[in-house]
Structures are given as C-alpha cells and as structure tokens.
Amino acid sequence: MKEAVLPLETIVFQTLLLLVAIALEARVFYHRLNLGRQISIKYAASINLLAAIISWLLFFLVQNWIPQELETEVINFIFFDRIAASQTQQITMLTVSIGVAIFFITFFIKLKGLDFLQALLKEMSTTEESDEDEEAPTTQLQALANRFNQVAVERNPNQATAVLLANAHSYSGIVLILFMRFFFNNL
C-alpha cells in the first residue's frame, strides 16, 4: 500500500519563492508601470499565484508521460533534493533547458494573467458605475471576453517589457536562493 507523503519542505520553500517573486515583481511594476504600491503588490501576487498553480498542474500532468526512470529522478530532485550521481551531467543539461523553457512559459502566463486581471478589473469598475439592471450571465461573459480582447489590443507596450523584467528579476532572485540552498546543503 502506498503511503501518502506530505512534502512540507517543498511547500514551505515554494511559499518562500512566491514571497520573493511577489516582492521583486511588485517593485518592478511600481517603477515601470507607475502603479501604486498596493496595486503593484496585488498584481504581482495575483499573477504569481496563477503561474504557480498552472505550473504545478502542468508538472503533475507531464510527469505521467515521462519515462519511469526520469519521473523518479525528477520527483527525487524536486521533493527530496537528491540527484543520481551517475546522471549528473545529463540532468544538468536537462535542467537548464527546462529552466529556460519554464521562464518563457511563465512570462507568457504572467502577461496573459495581467491582461485578464486588468480586463476583469475594468469590467468590475464599469459594472459598478452603471445603474442598469443585471444582465444575463452569457451577456456578462461576452462583455468580459470583449473587455479582455480590448485590453489585449490596447496593451501598453511597456507592460510586456515590465512583465519580462519583473519575471527576470524574480527568476534571478529564485536562482540565487536555489544556489545558496544547494551550496549550503553540500557543506
């Protein structure tokens, strides 16, 4: 019978990485997008939580399709910080390749998440301002979809740059923390 394992260390470490990413990205949003401090933090928290949820869902989906040997290595690496010594070079190349792919996938998720968040907030503000009766749910969904398309078309060109820079800042901070973690674990 399989026993359930609660990876408490991974959960705590993911929380730490999320807090670091939110702090770094909120700072970039504050300076680049000229948003208030609270709004910057809310945007950064929302898109980082969205990216983390989607990333974990994709991880658990993809791990079912990879070979059993690689699946065991990946799970040991993520949850228990163990790498098989015989495959260190292969795993390093794979990790770097996957890391670059994850960076750009996360950038896309965050950019679309920010677009969706802005569309949702605009829709909520226009709904609050209007004194009309409630619309049918399909009409509200259509209005939200139209608003999302409008925000995507009207997007500030600096917004994509700001999200890219914010993602780069957060990934740099995360890589530094991961490096320190593995360096101090090996001492």
- Residue whose C-alpha is closest to residue 115's, from 83, 65, 149, 87: 149
Q: What is the pLDDT of residue 9?
A: 83
Tell me how far CA of residue 185 lies from CA of 9, 81, 82, 88, in angstroms. 14, 9, 11, 17
Average pLDDT, the chain: 81
Enter the tokens of residue 100: 């670059």
91: number of CA atoms within 13 Å, CB side?
18
Tell me the average confidence (pLDDT) per consecutive run of 10 residues in the chain, 187 residues long.
73 93 96 92 95 91 82 75 65 78 93 89 69 56 64 68 94 91 77
pLDDT digits (tens, 9 = 90+) for 82-94: 766 566 666 677 7
Separation CA 62–CA 58 (nearest Å): 6
Write down the domain spans for the chain: 8-185
Asked whether the whole model's pTM tops 0.85, one would answer no
Cα first-last separation, the chain:
36
The pLDDT of residue 150: 63
